[in-house]
Amino acid sequence: MASTLEKFIHCLDPRSLPRVLQIQSGIYCQGSIYELFGNECCLSTGEVIKVIGFKINKLIASICENNEVSQFSAKVELPLNFPGLYKVVADKTPYVSIEEITRKVSIGPTRFGHPCFYSPEDIKLANLTIKQGEQITFNSVEEVNGTMTVICTVVRNNQAHPFALSLSQKGAFFECDDDQIYTLKEIAEWKIPRCRSRVVKLSKALHTRDRFNPLPQNFDGCLILTPVYEVQAVMKFRKDIVHILSDLDVEVKDITDCYDINSFLHPLSLEDVFERTSKEFPMVAEIMEGPSGCPKLFNLLYTGKEIFIYKKYQATRILASEIRSDSPKRHFLIPMSYKGKFKRRPREFLTAYDLEIARTEKEQLHVVATKAFDSPHEELFSVAVGDQFLVQQCQTSEVLYEGRKKLIDVLACEQILSNTYKKVLLPMYMEGGFVEVIHDKKQYQLSEICRQFRFPFNVKVAVRDLSIEEDVLAAMPGLRFEEELTDSYLLISSASSPAESWEIPVYRLNMLVHLLNKDAQTAVPPVTKTMVEEISEEQYYMVRRYENQTLHPPPRPPKKPT
């Protein structure tokens, strides 16, 4: 039975892809030609296409008041790369079954694909009872003993308890509040349920540069987002991907069950390639859709190019940010193979507590005060601008407080005088300002810095990496090494002239390939080219958020006695 493309995509379960469609009728019948996203495409009556995916192409946004569209709000169109970070507002409409959740909500292996729900009533299982209001995390959809189930966890006393819920489980399931922040692209890909809109609240407005902002000036409220989908399809006699907006006036018929789907090319994303077993590497692939808006090196990855994919692996990167007082700062991911050398740059500290975190046993921390501090206790030291200190250790000290003696945390230091040292105590709650004095003139390799010092750590390139044609790090006045990250990469090279190989990030490079039936088992990867990857501000917040989820934050600094 024929239906409009929009209705078909609206009802389509992503798990049923790919689907083969036949064009029935519409304004693009009888060989009409149109061009969309740079892809010229002919949709004639009787044409057969294979739908391999669909994703949100853009968002229609309306200003929201009390979770309803404001009567004075005009609808605006927002591209997925519209700058800003947003919080998702929990949907107050419940889901009536686990099956409905799996059909409408994205559940997957990435960090985005673990939605959380709660039930207003207890759920009694064979060996576990889920209490009303308890947060249930949905991790994956799997077949258990012939029954499709959702693998879930609840956390009690910091311990995760796994269990399975059958898709046939009925009840009311509400979304839990989500305190994470997301870009619009992340929300579009993972956080908008099928057949529903999504309310979001602006958490952080990012720098828009010269881009037109359709939202009201200084807007910080809520938006209702309604998606417009883009259909990705393969045509019979083309090797590239065709993009079709779902709201085009085209009627289609699903003929998957009576058509040989293997007669089409089979596109793979980099994530699909990465999920293949290690035994399947190396392989030869042809690029069906190359990345856009990427660094100069990635511009070599154009549609139609054949590449060797040698292996998949996890690799370490150092997340570094440009040191500058104004914004926006530039952010980089530096591979451990970087051959340049660094000199230390002074760090700045806002509190005595920061000094305690930064100090190490290897060398004594020498700082100069940049802000005065008057101590409320005679037993503790008052700091003047220009005072110099050698940081010793954290300890407790007895002070007189409201006529009674009280123990508080303090930082023991030595004040540097003209020809002597004076032992002083600084309250740990002290809010001041200090800048580090660097005595170390040594030049360090990246691996030495990671091994010998704690992050964050300030540096400047002293000797650039001569193996890189344009070492962007050498032009930076200073860099702040923030974290050591681990990410997924594929090692590739050009199949026609494999003079060098490159590491390409699996989750930050949008590219589609199809595998070629060519022997690559004897292919040996050439020397790997060192590449410093510059990332956007949205990607910076994304990788920092991911890493911070696995780290335990330091204890909060002690409060000033009141």
For 4-19, the pLDDT digits (tens) are 888 888 778 887 888 9
What pLDDT, on a 0 to 100 scale, did the predictor assign at position 550?
Answer: 41
| Closest by Cα among 455, 456, 384, 454 to 426 | 384
Q: Which two tokens stand for residue 342?
A: 């660094």
What pLDDT, on a 0 to 100 scale, did the predictor assign at position 207?
Answer: 63
User: What average pLDDT does range 377-384 have in this prediction?
Assistant: 88
For the chain, what is the largest distance between any 2 Cα atoms, rounded to a whole number of angstroms?
Answer: 94
| Closest by Cα among 560, 194, 537, 557 to 377 | 560
What pLDDT, on a 0 to 100 scale, did the predictor assign at position 553?
Answer: 44
Q: Could you tell me which residues come within 8 angstroms of residue 107 by beta carbon, excluding any fewer than 6 positions away?
A: 101, 113, 114, 115, 138, 139, 140, 141, 150
Who wins on pLDDT, 299 or 100?
A: 100
pTM confidence score: 0.65
Residues β-bridged to residue 515:
285
- In the structure, what pLDDT confidence band is assigned to residue 217 with cuts at 50, 70 and 90? confident
Lowest mean pLDDT among 42-51, 62-71, 435-444, 544-553: 544-553
pLDDT at 428 over 70: yes
What pLDDT, on a 0 to 100 scale, did the predictor assign at position 189?
Answer: 85
pLDDT at 2 over 90: no
User: What average pLDDT does range 123-141 have in this prediction?
Assistant: 92
Who wins on pLDDT, 298 or 239?
A: 239
Residue-wise pLDDT tens digits, 141-175? 988 888 889 999 999 998 999 999 999 999 999 99
Residue-wise pLDDT tens digits, 232-273? 888 877 777 888 888 788 889 999 988 888 888 888 889 999
User: What average pLDDT does range 115-137 have in this prediction?
Assistant: 93
Who wins on pLDDT, 240 or 81?
A: 81
Distance CA 502, CA 337 (A): 12
Domain 348-436 CATH assignment equals 2.30.30.40: yes
Q: Are 246 and 53 in contact (CB under 8 A)?
A: no
Distance CA 202, CA 383 (A): 41
* φ, ψ for residue 120, nearest 5 deg: -75, -5
How many whole angstroms from its chain centre is CA 130?
31
Q: How many CA atoms lie within 13 A of 97 on its CB side?
A: 9
Q: Are 288 and 52 in contact (CB under 8 A)?
A: no
DSSP string covering 415-446: EE-SS-EEEEEEETT-EEEEEE-------B-H
Distance CA 438, CA 441 (A): 8
DSSP string covering 163-187: EEEETT-EEEEEEPP----B-HHHI
As a whole number of Å, the CA-based R_g of the chain is 29
What is the 3-state composition of the chain as percent helix, strand, coil, each rounded to the nearest 5?
15, 45, 45
Residue-wise pLDDT tens digits, 310-320? 999 999 999 99
State the amino acid at position 343 in one-letter form.
Answer: K
Distance CA 202, CA 183 (A): 10
Distance CA 228, CA 68 (A): 19
What pLDDT, on a 0 to 100 scale, did the predictor assign at position 389?
Answer: 95
Q: Which residue is it, tokens 């199809």?
A: 514
Q: Is 548 left (phi over 0), alpha (psi -120 to 50) or beta?
A: alpha
Residue-wise pLDDT tens digits, 21-79? 988 875 543 344 444 444 455 677 888 889 988 888 888 888 877 656 555 567 888 88
Q: Could you tell me which residues come within 8 angstroms of residue 525 by beta carbon, excluding any fewer than 6 positions away?
A: 282, 308, 310, 311, 491, 493, 498, 501
Residue-wise pLDDT tens digits, 327-367? 778 999 999 999 999 999 999 998 888 898 888 888 889 99
What pLDDT, on a 0 to 100 scale, did the predictor assign at position 312?
Answer: 94
DSSP string covering 258-317: GS-GGGS---EEHHHHHTS-GGG-SEEEEEEE--SS--GGGGG--TT-EEEEEEEEEEEE
Most confident of 35-49, 469-483, 530-544: 469-483
What pLDDT, on a 0 to 100 scale, did the predictor assign at position 209?
Answer: 56
Who wins on pLDDT, 556 or 408?
A: 408
* φ, ψ for residue 104, nearest 5 deg: -110, -20
| Closest by Cα among 422, 460, 455 to 438 | 460
What pLDDT, on a 0 to 100 scale, did the predictor assign at position 552?
Answer: 43
The percent of residues above 90 in pLDDT, for the chain, comes to 39
Q: Which residue is it, tokens 């002083």?
A: 424
Most confident of 236-250, 285-299, 396-410: 396-410
Give the torsion through C-alpha atoms of 137, 143, 144, 149, to 10 deg.
40
Distance CA 507, CA 1 (A): 38
User: What average pLDDT does range 531-545 have in this prediction?
Assistant: 83
What pLDDT, on a 0 to 100 scale, did the predictor assign at position 41?
Answer: 57
What pLDDT, on a 0 to 100 scale, did the predictor assign at position 210?
Answer: 53
Q: Which two tokens stand for residue 120?
A: 């207003």
Distance CA 524, CA 194 (A): 45
The percent of residues above 70 in pLDDT, for the chain, comes to 89
- In the structure, what pLDDT confidence band is assigned to residue 126 with cuts at 50, 70 and 90? confident
Q: Are 247 and 77 in contact (CB under 8 A)?
A: no
Who wins on pLDDT, 414 or 56?
A: 414
Distance CA 111, CA 546 (A): 8
Residues β-bridged to residue 492:
309, 502
> Per-residue b/e over 104-133, b at no fewer than 16 CB within 10 Å?
ebbbeeeebebbbbbbeeebeeeeeebeee
